Amino acid sequence: MSDGLLDLAIATTGGQELWNTLRGLRIDISIGGPIWAMKGWPPDRTFDQILTLDTVREHIVFSPFTRPDRRMVFDAATDSVTMQTLDGEPVETLTPARARFKGMLRNTPWDALHLGYFLGYACWNYFTTPFLFTNPDVRAHEIEPWREAGQTWRRLQVRFPPRIATHNPDQVFYFDTFGMQRRMDYITEVNGSTLVGHYTSRYQTFDGLLVATRRRVFRRNPDNSVNLNLPSITLDIHDVEQVRSGDEQAQP
């Protein structure tokens, strides 16, 4: 559906015409934060990798993933996560993936496949926003603004259909006066239904596409306030490369 705030956000991010030329994105990223120790990974572990995501279907590849000789493939259509060799030979698969989180709490350890599912759907959603909201079965409409840090941010309430793997069906996205996303609120259903406030900043333009190169994830309070002292997850983006139709590596 058409929404004035959504139109502004899309235009600011690079425009629908540019997005329609893309087949994918390759993103050089570092993922860190104290939550990974809680999930059973070594303290202070940072995951440095290249994400290759498909901008048309919910499909993403992380390489290397958790060890130098492995990569991870997440695919929403098949509800699966597959660990592969770097040459693409399957090693282990988790399917149906979402159902395997049932009964897990925030402090429940994750193996590499569970970690891959979470990071897979999360990163695909992050890097396809706000263009994702134009899908015919995604519902987005503007709600009342929010005051924070001396600024007024306009907000989109977004409802995702079951076919899109995401944190939870109903999320809220905050935009500044220029149409840049500054925050998003969601509930991580696969991680103990934690309330989250996720902040985006340090925007850079990569061949016309505006990307937040710094993401910080915090616990959110029931009153919608956020304690910004210590992020639980950090995402730092170092480079973004566009993949267009005809590129031999567009299909990961």
Q: Looking at the 3D structure of the chain, how many domains does it have?
A: 1
Q: CATH number for the domain including 59? A: 2.50.20.10
Residues 158, 139: contact at Cβ < 8 Å?
A: yes
Asked if residue 29 belongs to a domain, the reply is yes
* 199 pLDDT above the threshold of 50: yes
Q: What is the mean pLDDT of residues 28-44?
A: 94
Domain that holds residue 91: 4-243
Q: What is the pLDDT of residues 133-179, one digit of tens each?
A: 999 999 999 999 999 989 999 999 999 999 999 999 999 999 999 99
Asked if residue 86 belongs to a domain, the reply is yes
Q: Choose among 203, 204, 170: nearest CA to 184.
A: 170
Q: Choose among 199, 197, 174, 177: nearest CA to 187.
A: 197
Counting every residue written for the chain, the total comes to 252
DSSP 132: G
Asked if residue 251 belongs to a domain, the reply is no
Q: What is the pLDDT of residues 85-130, one digit of tens each?
A: 999 999 999 999 999 999 998 899 999 999 999 999 999 999 999 9
Asked if residue 187 belongs to a domain, the reply is yes
Asked if residue 195 belongs to a domain, the reply is yes
Whole-structure pTM value: 0.94
DSSP 42: P
Asked if residue 248 belongs to a domain, the reply is no
**In angstroms, rounded to a whole number, what is the distance separating the alpha carbons of residues 161 and 93?**
25
In which residue are the tokens 């002292």 written?
229
- Omega within 30 of 0 (cis) for the link into 130: yes
Q: Choose among 14, 22, 29, 53: nearest CA to 239.
A: 29
Confidence of residue 246 (pLDDT cuts 50, 70, 90): low
State the Cα torsion 9-13-14-15 to the nearest 10°: -20
State the Cα torsion 62-231-11-160 to the nearest 10°: 70
Asked if residue 252 belongs to a domain, the reply is no
